[in-house]
Amino acid sequence: MEINPAVTFKHDRSVMYAKRPKVLIVGAGLGGLTLGMLLHKADIPFEIYERAPEVKPLGSAMYFNGTTANLFRQCGIYDEFVSLGKFVSSINVCNEQREVQYKIDFQGYDKLFGANGFIISRPNMYGLLFRQVPKERIHLGKKVLSMTQGGNGVLLRCSDGTEAEGDILVGADGAYSAVRQGLYAELKKAKKLPTFDSLPLPFSTVCLVGQTRVLTPEEFPDVALEECQFRNVVGDNRPYAWSTFTTKANTVCWICILYLDDESSKENDSFRNSEWGTEAAMAMADKVRDFPVVSGGDRQLTLGDLIDWTPKEFISKAMQEEKVFKTWYDCRTVLLGDACHKFNPAGGVGAAAAMHDALVLANLINGLPLHPIASEIEEAFSAYQKERYHWVKDAYEASKIFRAMAGQKTMAKVVRFCVKNMPQWMFQQGQRRTSSNRPQCAYLEYIEDHGSVKPAHQPSLSVKAPEDAKKHANNKSEIEKESGLVAVAAVI
Quick check: 334 and 169 in contact, CB under 8 A?
Answer: yes
Question: Is 95 in contact with 246 (CB distance < 8 Å)?
Answer: no
Which residues of the chain are modeled with pLDDT < 70? 1-18, 57, 261-279, 346-347, 401-413, 415-430, 468-492
Which residues make Cβ contacts (< 8 Å) with residue 163, sequence separation at least 6?
1, 155, 156, 157
Which has the closest alpha carbon to 85: 275, 227, 191? Answer: 227
* 106, 89 contact by CB (below 8 A): yes
pLDDT in tens, 359-406: 999 999 999 999 999 999 999 999 999 999 999 999 888 877 666 666
End-to-end CA distance of the chain: 44
3-state helix, strand, coil in the chain (%, to 5): 40, 20, 40
Contacts 24+ apart (CB under 8 A), 127-133: 128/77, 128/80, 128/81, 128/84, 129/30, 129/33, 129/34, 129/37, 129/77, 130/28, 130/33, 130/55, 132/33, 132/36, 132/37, 132/40, 132/75, 132/77, 133/33, 133/36, 133/37, 133/40, 133/48
> Helices 374-405 and 424-435 sit at what angle, rounded to 10 degrees?
160
Q: What is the pLDDT of residue 108?
A: 85
Count other C-beta atoms under 10 Å from residue 99's C-beta: 9
182: CB partners within 8 A, 6+ apart: 144, 146, 147
Give the bridge partners for 253, in sequence order: 211, 245
**Cα(206)–Cα(259) distance, integer angstroms:** 7
How far apart are alpha carbons 44 and 34 in whole angstroms?
14
Beta bridge partners of 91: 104, 230
How far apart CA 159 and CA 182 sit, in angstroms, is 15
CA dihedral 61, 63, 64, 66 (to 10 degrees): 160
Average pLDDT value over all residues in the chain: 86
| The pLDDT of residue 81 | 97
Q: pLDDT tens digits for 179-216?
A: 999 999 999 999 999 999 999 888 888 989 999 999 99
pLDDT score for 273: 44
Handedness of CA 180, 184, 187, 193 (dihedral sign): positive
Q: Which pLDDT score, from 0 to 100, does residue 487 have?
A: 38
**β-pairing verdict for 90-94 and 100-105:** antiparallel
pLDDT digits (tens, 9 = 90+) for 220-241: 999 999 999 999 998 888 889 9
